[in-house]
């Protein structure tokens, strides 16, 4: 049985990473077949496969980076970050959520939530015409309209 521990001084970060009713960690536990426990400021990951335990720990560290910047972390974010870590691209996690397109009337920032959306926003800024193709529901039109609104302001 493999085990790794980490000390996290900010309990509010742990709460943000775990999510409501620990839903975020349940996704990680199910995907990697590990157990994640939090006792005060200590976080412990255990599992039968040492590789999965290490992968879970790297994913948690990457999620910590996002939480420290004030990003809200949901199950979709956990799955996306886990995919990046699995591909060995955990250094790119810091780019997620930095690209604020505009602010809504209620004060909520509209951001690129994935690296693909970030590339799309960069392309819209640098090219006169940008054509985005991809599956429905991935934010193409939403980001394009937000960029247009930001350009008019």
pLDDT of residue 75: 93
pLDDT of residue 57: 94
* Rounded-to-integer distance, Cα 146 and Cα 125, Å: 12
Give me 139's structure tokens: 């934010």
On whether the CB atoms of residues 47 and 30 are closer than 8 A, the answer is: no
Q: Kindly report the CA angle at 134 between 115 and 73, in degrees rounded to 5?
A: 40
pLDDT of residue 13: 84
pTM (two decimals): 0.81
Length of the chain: 153
Which domains, ranges and CATH numbers included, belong to the chain? 2-95 (3.30.1370.10), 100-152 (no CATH)
* Rounded-to-integer distance, Cα 98 and Cα 109, Å: 10
- pLDDT tens-place values along the chain, 153 residues long: 889 999 888 888 888 899 889 999 999 999 999 999 988 888 999 999 999 999 999 999 999 988 988 888 999 999 999 999 999 888 888 888 777 888 888 988 898 888 899 999 999 999 999 999 999 999 999 999 999 998 887
Beta bridge partners of 3: 46
pLDDT of residue 10: 83
pLDDT of residue 70: 84
pLDDT of residue 140: 93
Give me 93's structure tokens: 């996690």
Give me 123's structure tokens: 């392309």
* Rounded-to-integer distance, Cα 87 and Cα 80, Å: 11
pLDDT of residue 11: 82
């Amino acid at each position: 049985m493999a085990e790794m521990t980490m000390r996290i001084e900010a309990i509010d970060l742990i709460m943000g990473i775990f999510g409501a009713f620990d839903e975020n960690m349940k996704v990680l536990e199910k995907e990697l077949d590990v157990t994640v426990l939090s006792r005060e400021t200590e976080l412990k990951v255990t599992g039968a496969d040492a590789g999965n335990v290490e992968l879970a720990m790297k994913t948690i560290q990457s999620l910590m980076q996002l939480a420290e910047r004030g990003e809200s972390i949901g199950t979709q974010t956990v799955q996306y970050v886990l995919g990046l870590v699995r591909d060995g691209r955990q250094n790119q996690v810091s780019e997620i959520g930095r690209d604020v397109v505009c602010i809504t009337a209620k004060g909520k920032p509209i951001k690129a939530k994935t690296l693909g959306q970030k590339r799309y926003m960069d392309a819209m800024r640098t090219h006169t015409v940008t054509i985005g193709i991809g599956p429905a529901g991935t934010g193409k039109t939403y980001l394009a309209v937000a960029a247009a609104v930001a350009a008019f302001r």
